[in-house]
Structures are given as C-alpha cells and as structure tokens.
Amino acid sequence: MKFGILVNEGPYTHQASDSAYLFVKAALEKGHQIYRVFFYHDGVNNATKYTEPPQDDRHIVNRWSKLAEQYGIDLVVCVAAALRRGIKDELLAPGFRISGLGQLVEAGIQGDRLVVFGD
C-alpha cells in the first residue's frame, strides 16, 4: 500500500509528529510505500534545523531527516504555513523542501490512503 502522510502539529507540542514518524517507520518496515510526508499548519516546525531539544530528549527533526535519507522519502513543508512562522529554505533541516498545497493534493491522489496526524 502507498501512503500519503499529513502532519499538522509541531514536534514538541503535540503527539502528532511522534505518531506520524512511528507510523511511517512501521509502514516502511512492513514493505509499504510512503509517497510523501506533507507538513502543514504548526507541523512546519518539524522542519527547522535550529531545533535543539535537551540531550536526554528525542530529536524529532533529526529523526525525520534520517528517515528521509534512509528511505528516500519526500518531506514537503507548506510554503504559506512556513513563511507565516518565519521558516525559509535556508532554515530547513536536511531532507525537507518547501512547496505548495498542490503537493498535498498530489499525495492524496497518488497514495492509496492519506493519513492525517493532528487537528
């Protein structure tokens, strides 16, 4: 099965990012495909390379970057939501790119399912 993923919440304010990451990782390990992960609303905060959690906490941004590198996952950040929050291309962690809502629509069309994490 091919999944499109939508993440609507920030990395440390809601469980949505952790849940999405664990879902994607489990799906890949079971042989499913991830067409794209789209970050929208506060979810765009998952993409900033300047995130620095305490050393004893998980580093959600790095988790996404490593997963994208390992599996070639397309991590797309909504341009309008990113700009509203002061996030530009030069602030993105490795593996993330900025694009428009058309990328979300395409993920919904190309995937067998679009799974939404967060409100």
Tokens of 111: 């995937």
Q: Could you give the residue numbers annotated as active site?
A: 78
Cα 19 from Cα 36, distance rounded (Å): 16
Task: Give the per-residue pLDDT at 56.
Answer: 87
Average pLDDT, 10 consecutive residues per value, the chain (119 residues): 98 95 98 98 97 91 97 98 97 98 97 97
Task: Give the per-residue pLDDT at 118.
Answer: 97
| Domain boundaries 2-117, corresponding CATH code | 3.40.1260.10
pTM for this structure?
0.96
